[in-house]
Amino acid sequence: MEFVQSISSSAGMFVSLSKSRSFSFQNMRGDFILNPIFLRFFTASLHVILFLIVIISWVYKKFVSNGNETPKHNVIRRTNLLYYRPTLFSCLGLSVFNLVLCLLNLFYWYANGWSDEKILILSDLGLKTVSWLALYLFLQIHYLNSRETKYLIVLRLWWGVFMSVSCYCLVIDLLYYKKHHYLSSLFWASDIVSSVMGLVFCYVGFSGKKNEEDTILQEPLLNGGATHGEVPNEPTKGDETVTPYATSGLFSLFSFSWMSPLVSLGYKRTLNLEDVPQLGSSDTVRGAFPILNDKLESYRGESNKVTTIMLAKGLFFTTSKEIVLSAIYVLVYTLASYVGPFLIDTFVQYLNGNRDFKNEGYVLVSAFFVAKLFECFAQRHWFFTVQQAGYRARAALVAKVYNKGLTLSSQSKQGHTTGEIINFMSVDAERIGDFGWYLHDPWMVILQVALALAILYRDVGLASLAGLVATVLVMLANVPLGSLQERFQDKLMKSKDERMKATSEILRNMRILKLQAWELKFLSKIFELRKVETGWLRRYLYTSAVTTFVFWGAPTFVSVVTFGACMLMGIPLESGKILSALATFRILQEPIYSLPDTISMIVQTKVSLDRIASFLSLDDLPQDVVEKLPESTSEIAVEIINGNFSWDIANSAPTLKDINFRVSRGMRVAVCGTVGSGKSSLLSCILGEMPKVSGSIRLNGTKAYVAQTPWIQSGKIEENILFGKEMDRQKYDRVLEACSLKKDLEILSFGDQTVIGERGINLSGGQKQRIQIARALYQDADIYLFDDPFSAVDAHTGTHLFNECILGLLDSKTVIFVTHQVEFLPAADMILVMKDGKIKQAGKYNDILKSGSDFMELVGAHEEALSALDSMDVGKTANGEEKGSENAKPALQKQESLKEGNDKVDNSGGTKGQLVQEEEREKGNVGLSVYWKYITTAYGGLLVPFALLAQILFQILQIGSNYWMAWATPVSKDVEPPVGGSTLILVYVLLSIGSSLCIFVRALVVVTIGYKTANILFNKMHLSIFRAPMSFFDSTPSGRVLNRASTDQSTIDLNMASIVALFAFAIIQLLGIIAVMSQAAWQVFIVFIPVVAICIWLQRYYIASARELARLCGVCKAPVIQHFSETLSGAITIRSFDQESRFRDINMRLIDAYSRPKFHTAGAMEWLCIRLDVLSLITFAFSLIFLISIPEGTIDPSVAGLAVTYGLNLNMLQAWVVWNLCTMENRIISVERLLQYTSIQSEPPLVVESNRPQSHWPVNGEVNIRDLQVRYAPHMPFVLRGLTCTFFGGKRTGIVGRTGSGKSTLIQTLFRIVEPTGGQILIDGINILSIGLHDLRSRLSIIPQDPTMFEGTVRSNLDPLEEYTDEQIWEALDKCQLGDEVRKKAEKLDSAVFENGENWSVGQRQLVCLGRVLLKKSKVLVLDEATASVDTATDNLIQQTLKQHFTDSTVITIAHRITSVLDSDMVLLLDNGLLKEYNSPEKLLEDKSSSFSKLVAEYSMRSSSSFENLSIARV
């Protein structure tokens, strides 16, 4: 700064350069070596030599490296050169220093004339700039990974010469100054800096090298396996290190340099999650959650109630450090931002010649510069700190919501569905985290308005009061708009909850929807819910458009009122004061612009806090229901005394009444009864899951529970079985053997390392159930509770499980099992017979058989089923069995060898791969096609030019109005104004109204584009998802789809259009500012263009990391949601195993994995912005220096003042452009993720118009299967391997086979849920592959393995397509034994069905599925283990009903109960995907060696013999 001052103060010296005898080329004579001008020529030549050295060395190195070096594979090295980095930055520093000198002289001489000497000096500086920059690049490229320990000898020699010449020049400067008493500051600065740098380079070049021996000794120790200093490319993984932020020094924190390694790594290659470091302990959920939890516990005391205030206070204390720190930053930022407007009037007066003291210009420039510097740094740290606080608050909240979800009582759960609870986590907690951005706005606005008024009072006196009134009016306009927005936001969130609830349920049950051809009906239900949601969305968006108009017009309104008041009060307006006022209004714009957002965000955050607080206030599962007895204190394992329990406490009639029983240690207790008698409820009350009305429960020891509906976590099979326990291989193998899982694991390509899809989607029902049992066995608990686990497996496996598990491994344990299989009852020490919620009978098998009718009914039904067996001549003797077994051996061996052969073929047939793959994420640039698709989705992009035109007109009119005020007002009081006062205000008002109208048009157009686009993308994505094949849902966890339907859709609904628009508008504004600044000093372009180039390069350098971090955020969010969803559905199992703490730990790990990329995204953004701010400061400072350096009168002070007014916003706007670009690139990923799901490969067409079957097809229902081959994915083994058979029309065919043999796959292929890989299926001669899916599926009926009910009413569950009358529905209900049950309910057919049919037992749900097929009356009916969950009596009723109503239909039955298939016309036995036997049951039973015959014999023996004797024999 000093030498610039000298340049301007000694103007005469430079003007007389060419006249000076001692400087003149013509008169140099013998003293030319003492002439500074000649020395410039000499140093310029010297730098030409340097440039040539660099170029030649570059070429030489290139050839040598290409010719001699062998390629190094993935080797990363560090240079051995001493002081490499200081040398590098010294070169760059010298280049920049010479560039600054060059530009300053260029501008000075541009104003004061040119000469040959000046051109020589300029050339010298230019050559130095280029040469040092070339050297910097050379060192950067060729020495960074070099083995060399010394710089090139020629380079070191040159450095020596450079130092000598620089010192010689400095001596000449001293001699010249002594003789002539003046010398340009330029020469002093250049020669002093060159001498110092020359000394540095000489020291570096000649002082030695790094110790090579040290390198060789150290590096292998640090990087095992590295030799001779070569380090393998195994960088330390980020997830093993803590973020540098936690340990950084002050400068690193201040400049965000701690982010540099990650940004640099992201620039070199695509970032993965393991590259992102762990958070510091205070930022992890383990650091934040205990604070929030402790505060909430202390606030609520004994009560369970959490209020919004409590939650807000708790969050404040969780993030108090960050909040206080950010408040200090906000204060510094606000004060610094008003220094500019305060000084503008003084600056204009200075340019007009009114100067108070010498060097006032430099003092003003310094004040502007320092204030902007403080403003930049304070703003950057404010933004980062509030984001940091937001991530901590969000993490703590998500953990709190998760913990609450884990302890919710069943009654509380009924009020909130899974979808709603997930929304608390994915939307509400996220929004509360984002509130940090707006946290300080309320008090900051007051401070900013106060400072603005103070400056306005100084400029326009009492007229500032009018400005205050106008500002208050504008802010009051918020009140009605804010309340409207709050109402719309609340309604929007509620409607979104409804949609997410329905979407979640549909995704869970997509298989049944496709089987029944209901998917389009349910899609229309989603579209109807979305229609309600978009109704509120439209209101919300258009209200926000009005708000935008009001507030973009607000500063104009305030300025018009203020200037109008000046005219009325007769206060003289001068251009300096006007510009100061305009700059103040521009700063005031920011809080006024952001005020609607702040109000909207406060509203949204309050709504979210209310919702979460009400959720946290719900009742937990009471801890005192079950009294835990101390271990080993008594022989009692379970005891219930006078127990009355009810799922609904409000209901006067309890679900379970007068329950009294005692179970001693080691007892086996069986619970039986008809469907809906309260068997599962009895187990729930033992677990403490069912609300207790009265009585007491005592429990002694640890417990394990196997639910009726299997709950399997997504993950490896091994992880599901271990369930948090350490691996004990011997015990593990015993459990696998007992659960018959070894054979299944052999078939699976990855064995027990196979990744299970969500809810065990890629396993059969029996496999899921056996994995559940294995999980319970491995826990080695004291008390085991089994809820009818044998129904889902075939007869043979059921017997094996009962023998090996309950009678074997659990022989010494207490076991309480619910069962419908009467044949297992004799083995029990006690049998409890349930009816209507009461224990009707209790005792041993033979005792209660004689004493009551209820048990007799169950056993009678079983005997009736067995009578079919008795009528057939089946060998039941042991000899017969053995003989049969011997005969079967060759056939079995043959089958085994065939199976092994087939296995080998399959495994070699293609690459193996898991069914559930890692979530796909795009990598690299977000393609322009994504932006183009987004912009052109609505109306083909026709509205976009109108939005841009409106913004351009607004910018022109706004600049025009400000230019008018600067030009039309005098610089000082003694100058005559060019126009009258009324004309001045009238023109200003007209221009202002025009600009406001442009903003209104722009706001409406942007909202319209955003709204339309969001709807189109929503519809496209959902249509694509609903038309996706079932394999998509099998391999895609629903969390991924829900994440897109909630978070990504929300971004597109509310933010995306405004973000894209803001980016375009920010560029237009930036161009406007540069245009205004160039009016005063076009030379600003000389700095602005390279600065913009560096900004763009920095942005490109940064965006590679930022983009991948944003994508990682998207990918890491889904596991949090999915884990939460799984936890909610399996909460009973988790609690029964006492595994809550382990699941909380997993949740915390997943939350931190999501917070890591979020935290570093924020750090990367501020890393970029702080650098952009400093660069834009250079532009601004340069323009200020130029304005004070030019002679007085060269430029109009008003125009110069206007340039400075706009320049004050330059750094903010330049950073805003890049910030918007980065935000847009990060947010556009939501569009990219939605577009991914708009192009899912769809199923074959629903209807093939050219090949539609006749309306009455199928007539006979004959199913002809030819060489059918099926596998679930190209990389997976075949499940069916060339099946050929015919199911005759009107006949009943039973399909039996071991679990996993391909029974369910055959049925799925019949419905084309899975497309055959080879072969064909004909129904009545029509190839099912040639017709549409809906034509096929709507003509077939199925009662699926997993009974499904949807939230709604009984009517909507039986008849979702609304095709039948109430009479027909009642008739179907009566036929399936549910009529009386429904008539008991007050609302009859409109009785509520909760999510998943939770308020109906599994057996009742199965009967509802039967009701559906009775309504449909198809020619082909499939029963997929349809009666697995009902007792034998109900099963017999169902079979009779089906016989009666489907006499002429083809009925295909998959059954585990042999009795269900014995009365079939044909039996098909599958084994490992192959047809093993197919004949009538009679024929198969005649052949004692047939597998079917042996199955029946085993079932018959199991049913007839006493398990009591069997268990004694085992002992």
Q: What is the dihedral of CA 319, 324, 330, 333, to 10 degrees?
A: -120
DSSP-assigned letter for residue 760: G
Buried-state track 157-175, b at ≥16 Cβ within 10 A, e below 16 = ebbeebbebbebbbebbee
* Cα gap 1042→1047, rounded to integer Å: 8
Q: What gap in Å lies between CA 1269 and CA 1264, rounded to an integer? A: 14
Given this model, what pLDDT does residue 594 score?
67
Residue with tokens 């049969």: 884
260 is written with which tokens? 């540099």
Phi, psi (degrees; rounded to nearest 5) at 658: 50, 55
Block mean pLDDT (10 aa), the chain, length 1515: 35 33 38 63 76 75 53 41 73 83 69 64 82 80 66 78 83 79 76 84 66 33 33 44 85 88 88 88 90 89 84 92 93 89 80 75 87 90 93 93 88 77 85 88 86 82 84 77 82 88 86 87 91 92 85 77 84 77 74 70 87 89 82 80 84 83 89 84 88 87 88 87 89 89 80 76 78 90 88 76 88 88 85 87 82 72 62 42 32 31 33 52 66 88 90 88 77 67 80 87 92 93 91 80 87 88 86 78 72 81 85 84 87 89 92 91 90 83 78 70 72 74 81 88 88 86 89 81 88 82 85 88 89 89 80 84 84 82 80 79 80 85 73 72 83 77 85 86 84 77 50 38
- Cβ burial 1082-1121 (10 Å sphere, 16+ → b, else e): ebbebbbeebbeebeebbeebbbbbbbbbbbbbbbbbbbb
Are 231 and 76 in contact, with CB atoms under 8 Å apart?
Answer: yes
CA 943/CA 1064 separation, integer angstroms: 14
Q: How far is CA 1300 from CA 691, 743, 763, 1421, in A?
A: 39, 10, 8, 22
Instruction: Give the separation between CA 537 and CA 533, rounded to whole angstroms.
Output: 6
The residue whose two tokens read 């399909």 is: 1295
**What is the predicted pLDDT for the residue at 12?**
35
Q: What's the angle, vertex CA 1251, arms to CA 1249 and CA 1256, rounded to 5?
A: 100
Could you tell me if 771 and 691 are in contact, meaning their C-beta atoms sit under 8 angstroms apart? no
How far apart are the C-alpha atoms of 740 and 733, rounded to whole Å? 11
CA–CA distance, 836 with 673 (Å, rounded to integer): 9
3-state DSSP assignment of residue 880: helix
List the one residue out of 249, 244, 281 whose CA is nearest residue 259: 244
CA angle 976, 977, 982 (to 5 degrees): 140
Contact 772, 706 (CB under 8 A): yes
Q: Which tokens is 1339 given?
A: 């003509």
Report the relative pairing of strands 668-673 and 830-835 from DSSP bridges: parallel
- pTM reported for the whole predicted model: 0.67
Closest to 1408 (Cα-Cα) out of 1347, 1321, 1456:
1347
pLDDT at 1303: 83
Would strands 1292-1297 and 1466-1471 be described as parallel, antiparallel, or unpaired?
parallel
Give dist(CA 1045, CA 1230) in Å, integer. Answer: 10
For residue 452, which amino acid is it? A
Report the amino acid identity of residue 548.
Answer: T
**C-beta of residue 420 within 8 angstroms of C-beta of residue 507:** no
Question: Does residue 890 have a cis bond before it (omega within 30 degrees)?
Answer: no
- Which helix (H) or strand (E) covers residue 769, if one does? helix 765-779
DSSP string, 1176-1235: HHHHHHHHHHHHHHSPTTSS-HHHHHHHHHHHTTHHHHHHHHHHHHHHHHHHHHHHHHHH
Which amino acid, 396? A
CA distance 1040 to 757: 13
Tokens matching residue 286: 């383990």
DSSP class of residue 1395 equals G
The number of beta carbons lying within 10 Å of the beta carbon of residue 3 is 16
Instruction: Name the strand (E) or helix (H) holding 588.
Output: helix 575-616
Give the N- to C-terminal CA distance of the chain in Å, as an integer. Answer: 100
Q: Report long-range pairs for 212-218 (Cβ below 8 Å, ≥24 apart).
A: 212/80, 212/149, 215/80
Determine contact, residues 425/1043, Cβ cutoff 8 Å.
no
CA–CA gap between residue 1235 and residue 1109 (Å, rounded): 19
pLDDT attached to residue 1173: 85
